[in-house]
């Protein structure tokens, strides 16, 4: 059975807009499970009450359901439509020092801090940010399927991180980052066996730790 490509809804956003909360930010991340490079988060505030959002953002889905070219085109549309877009990241040294979940929270906090105007409510995919961000928030699993704002953020985060990995590929061409974006593919595993791990790898991750111990 194929993955259902049901478009995300605006029900959550509209409920908040109707209650007078105009600046609602959707938050998501990309790269949490990769073996190298940063984890990147994005925050997107869509214009409250716009009747054209569905048309302007037609095709916006969970970034994992889209091709690279589709994501690139939709990222342009999202940036043209959104009231605000923020991007934040946490690099491999921070991930190794603090752990992937705290680093993901930090990346999300940085993305939120980059928003102008400031959000008044957060819709967050999976991660609890209450300890870091003193704003009303609602977290949900698979939020990119439920909220158009979160789905838009998932695309922005993925496109931003993929570009970062392409840049890293120019500095570390032996690992093939431009192709696998730091995930644990067979090609990446073979490159690690051949060249060892670089500074941009997440040395605390179990596969990298096992490699170092071998």
DSSP state letters, 108-135: HHHHHHT-SSPPSEEEEES---TTT--S
For the residues of 127-184, what is the DSSP string, one character each? ---TTT--S-EEEETTHHHHBHHHHHHHHHHHHHHHHHHHHHHHH-GGG-HHHHTT--
- pLDDT value of residue 1: 37
Tell me, rounded to whole angstroms, the distance of Cα 68 from its chain centroid: 14
pLDDT in tens, the chain (214 residues): 345 578 999 999 999 999 999 999 999 999 999 999 999 999 999 999 788 898 999 999 999 999 999 999 999 999 999 999 999 999 999 999 999 999 999 999 999 999 999 999 999 999 999 999 999 999 999 999 999 999 999 999 999 999 999 999 999 999 999 999 999 999 999 999 999 999 999 999 999 988 877 6
Q: Compute the distance between CA of residue 146 and CA of residue 10 in angstroms, rounded to an integer.
A: 8
Q: Compute the distance between CA of residue 63 and CA of residue 191 in angstroms, rounded to an integer.
A: 27
How many residues are recorded in the chain? 214
Residues 122-179 have pLDDT tens digits of 999 999 999 999 999 999 999 999 999 999 999 999 999 999 999 999 999 999 999 9
Q: Which domains does the chain have, with CATH numbers?
A: 11-162 (3.30.420.10)
- pLDDT value of residue 120: 98
For the residues of 11-49, what is the DSSP string, one character each? HHHHHHHHTT---EEEEEEE-TT-SBS-EEEEEEEPPTT
Q: Compute the distance between CA of residue 72 and CA of residue 68 in angstroms, rounded to an integer.
A: 6
- pLDDT value of residue 4: 53
pTM as predicted: 0.96
SS3 at position 209: helix
Classify residue 203 by its DSSP letter.
T
């Amino acid at each position: 059975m194929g993955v259902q490509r049901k478009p995300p809804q605006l029900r959550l956003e509209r409920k908040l807009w109707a209650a007078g909360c105009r600046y609602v930010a959707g938050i998501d991340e990309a790269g949490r499970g990769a073996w190298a490079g940063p984890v990147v988060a994005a925050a997107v505030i869509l214009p409250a009450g716009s009747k054209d959002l569905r048309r302007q953002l037609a095709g916006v889905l969970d970034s994992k359901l889209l091709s690279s070219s589709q994501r690139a085109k939709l990222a342009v549309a999202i940036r043209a439509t959104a009231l605000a877009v923020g991007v934040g990241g946490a690099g491999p040294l921070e991930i190794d020092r603090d752990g992937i979940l705290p680093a993901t929270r930090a990346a999300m906090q940085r993305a939120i801090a980059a928003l102008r105007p400031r959000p008044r409510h957060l819709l967050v995919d999976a991660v609890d940010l209450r300890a870091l961000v003193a704003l009303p928030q609602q977290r949900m699993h698979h939020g990119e399927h439920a909220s158009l704002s979160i789905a838009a953020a998932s695309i922005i985060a993925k496109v931003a991180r993929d570009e970062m990995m392409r840049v890293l590929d120019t500095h570390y061409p032996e690992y093939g980052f431009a192709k696998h974006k730091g995930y644990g593919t067979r090609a990446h595993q073979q490159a690690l066996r051949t060249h060892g791990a670089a500074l941009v790898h997440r040395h605390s991750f179990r596969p990298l730790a096992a490699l170092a111990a071998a």
